[in-house]
Amino acid sequence: MRSDAARNLELVLRTGARLLAEDPSASIAAIASAASVDRRTVYRRFTSREELLAAVHRARYEAVEQAIDAARLQEAPVAVALHLYVEGIIAVNRAWPVVMRDVRADPTVAEHRNRLVKEVDAFLVRAVDEGLFRPDLPLGWINAVLPSLMLDAAEGVPDLTPARAADLVVETLLRGVGMSHPNAA
């Protein structure tokens, strides 16, 4: 592939992620226009709209995979792994702000996603076993709350660096935002 083509491809993917996050039904024309590229250029690279969507999701999940690998979810101490994971995902959420909703679209993407979800699930179980999380809560609860918090940190407090935002997420997750706990006062 020629270098300018590669640049355009990257640009289309990133612009697509951004626009689709704001409006999941953004048209190819709108994406192309926002990327300062002709609509036809997009259609030359991706045969169909679905293909572009799949490519954007793929880009995102590759970034997620890198973050997961870097967090060493199975080997590192749980507290460390948790922080690394959260920080990585916050960065990914900012770089690839794709909506999580219609993930079931492409089968390859779904499979990729399921593999990563399984890894995180295993980590959460380990975190409970090793006493980081309370075991008396519905298992699905932490699983639901953690991604929400990471999304809030990515979008809700954009001034914070990923590292500081991760501090906030982990602290909120583990101890909450209430006043009365040992480390307060």
* Distance separating alpha carbons of residues 18 and 35, to the nearest angstrom: 11
- State the number of binding residues for DNA (CB under 7 A): 24
Taking every pair of Cα atoms in the chain, the longest distance, rounded to a whole number of angstroms, is 61
Single out the segment in contact with a copy of itself by CB under 8 A; choices: 8-16, 52-60, 87-95, 173-181. 173-181
Binding a copy of itself (rule: CB under 8 A), the pick from 145, 161, 162, 163 is 145
Residue 132 binds: one of a copy of itself, DNA, none (C-beta under 5 to 8 A by kind): a copy of itself
Residue 41 binds: one of DNA, a copy of itself, none (C-beta under 5 to 8 A by kind): DNA
Residue 23 binds: one of DNA, a copy of itself, none (C-beta under 5 to 8 A by kind): a copy of itself
Q: Do the beta carbons of residue 12 and residue 58 sit within 8 Å?
A: no
Single out the segment in contact with a copy of itself by CB under 8 A; choices: 42-50, 52-60, 106-114, 154-162. 154-162
Question: What is the smallest separation between the CB atom of 68 and a copy of itself, expressed in angstroms?
Answer: 21
Buried b (16+ CB within 10 A) or exposed e, 114-136: eeeeebbeebbeebbeeebbeee
**Structural tokens at position 162:** 């990923």
DSSP state of 25: T
Binding a copy of itself (rule: CB under 8 A), the pick from 38, 143, 161, 163 is 143
Residue 136 interacts with DNA (CB under 7 A): yes or no:
no
Give me the sign of the Cα torsion angle 51, 64, 148, 145: positive
**Structural tokens at position 157:** 């407090």
Site for DNA in 37-76 (CB under 7 A): 37-41, 43-45, 47-50
* Distance separating alpha carbons of residues 124 and 34, to the nearest angstrom: 40
**Structural tokens at position 124:** 């959460």
Q: Which residues bind DNA (CB under 7 A)?
A: 1-5, 8-9, 27-30, 36-41, 43-45, 47-50
